[in-house]
Amino acid sequence: MDYSYFQINEQALEVVFPEQINVEENKLVQQVSQKLIEEETTGVTGVIPAYHTLTVNFDYDLTSFKLLEGQIDSLIASSSGENMSVKRIVELPVCYDEEFGPDLEDVAEFASVSVEKLIKLHTGTDYFIFMMGFLPGFAYMGSVPEQIAMPRLKVPRKSIAPGSVGIAGAQTGMYPVESPGGWRLIGRTPIQLYDRNNPVLKYKSGDYVRFKAVSKSEYYDIQKQDQSGNYTLKTITEGGDIND
């Protein structure tokens, strides 16, 4: 796979792959990122994987650009041959109701479908988490069916409720905390996605998210269970293993 290096500053470099939203390419970015940390590569102080780039921070007293580039070359070569087909899917309940999805009708009109068909289209795809960013726990995921890939709002909302699920072009995602934002909101999950007192996330880059439509009554039942610590998200690993 083609890639190049860019020197950001004296203690950071960026590995740049072809600019595209591509699952296999992003899996490679994440695998190399993970190995740099797991193998405790000398001098590496941090990694930041994104859609098609990997930023590597390092201590210039312990390593060098040339040495680090050689190590990354080796990791890319070895990772490229690995099986990257295993999927960990997190099933996330979402209530697609106008109260929670103020843009539901607009997206359906954009796609020339009924709201019911829109929901089926949105829940019919497993969405790959390409990267985390913007907010703690905000997952950039794709790709939504082209028919419902409505662009962002021209004027962002000043406040969006936590758990809101939205669409922005080919991307979909959930707002983990209250925030401004311009994504088209079509529903909301009753699950608390981020807790500042316990910031361990329920999903990570490289996972897939599968949205499951629930009714309004189910939404509030799940919310109560989640708040009391009695609700566990279902995760599915490709191959048939299910954890409840």
Q: pLDDT digits over 164-223, tens only? A: 999 999 999 999 999 999 999 999 999 999 998 888 899 998 899 999 999 999 999 999
Q: Residue 243: phi, psi to the nearest 5?
A: -115, 125
- Read off the pLDDT of residues 25-51 as tens digits, 9 standing for 90 and up: 999 999 999 899 999 899 999 999 998
Cα 68 to Cα 65: distance, rounded to the nearest angstrom: 5
- Read off the pLDDT of residues 72-111 as tens digits, 9 standing for 90 and up: 999 999 886 555 667 899 999 999 999 999 999 999 999 9
pTM of the model: 0.84
Position 238 scores a pLDDT of 76
